[in-house]
Amino acid sequence: MKKEDLFATLRANTYMQYDMPEMAIDGITYPDRLRQFVEMTESVGGHVLELGEGEDLNDAVRRAYPDARVFASHLPEITIAGKNPDTVAEAADLNGTDVGIVRGELGVAENGCVWVPQTMKEKAVCFISEYLVIVLKKTAIVDNMHEAYARIDMDPRYNFGTFISGPSKTADIEQSLVMGAQAARGALCLPARPAGRINPCDNRPSVPPRTARPIG
């Protein structure tokens, strides 16, 4: 059953409706949203690499993942990508991607989540890549999820989006933590920063992808 058919059936069989109660919810706020966002992202296993004034995005990605060979992105400013999720024939063609690069619409200081709407034909790039880089404007960070839900939007072509917070991880089996079981094993957020600020993640050692084949 299609989603539209399901909703039509529910509406046809709804005989009484009630207005939602008005609730004033004061979400948590932070004096420094960027700092809180960085701390929460690090706490869930992600990393934040702030760009310097005029720093090239491609150089920053290369610096973060010096051993990566296969990049995938549909962003026009990314010139190192050998695969484009807008032009591949099918999602399976993105298999083997070392680093996928997408754009986030907004970040949430409360929990380190980033809203990533689908703006590419094959959204698999967000999940099939060994490592995921999310480009995010530093000014697009909100305090909490209440603010985030009030601002999220989706591309009408695809009507899909997801919150991503750090790398994929699970501990379902024998309570053993496994990174990258369902999606990227590493996540890096790239917000622009003003010149002169110290980047706490600049000296972060690179981590080789989980693929069996060497990419160094």
In eight-state DSSP terms, residue 83 is: B
Read off the pLDDT of residues 98-132 as tens digits, 9 standing for 90 and up. 999 999 999 999 999 999 999 999 999 999 999 99
Q: Residue 179: which pLDDT band, with cuts at 50, 70 and 90?
A: low
- Mean pLDDT in residue range 145-162: 93
Nearest to 65 by CA among 205, 165, 166: 205
Provide the token pair at 60: 């920053």
Give the pLDDT of residue 209.
Answer: 33
Alpha helix ranges (H) inside the chain: 3-12, 33-43, 57-64, 125-128, 145-151
Query: Per-domain residue ranges for the chain?
Result: 28-191
Out of 16-20, 102-106, 197-201, the most confident range is 102-106
Provide the token pair at 33: 């949203």
Give the pLDDT of residue 1.
Answer: 78
Provide the token pair at 54: 């005029």
- Mean pLDDT in residue range 152-160: 92
Matching residue, tokens 């999720």: 85
Domain boundaries 28-191, CATH class: alpha beta
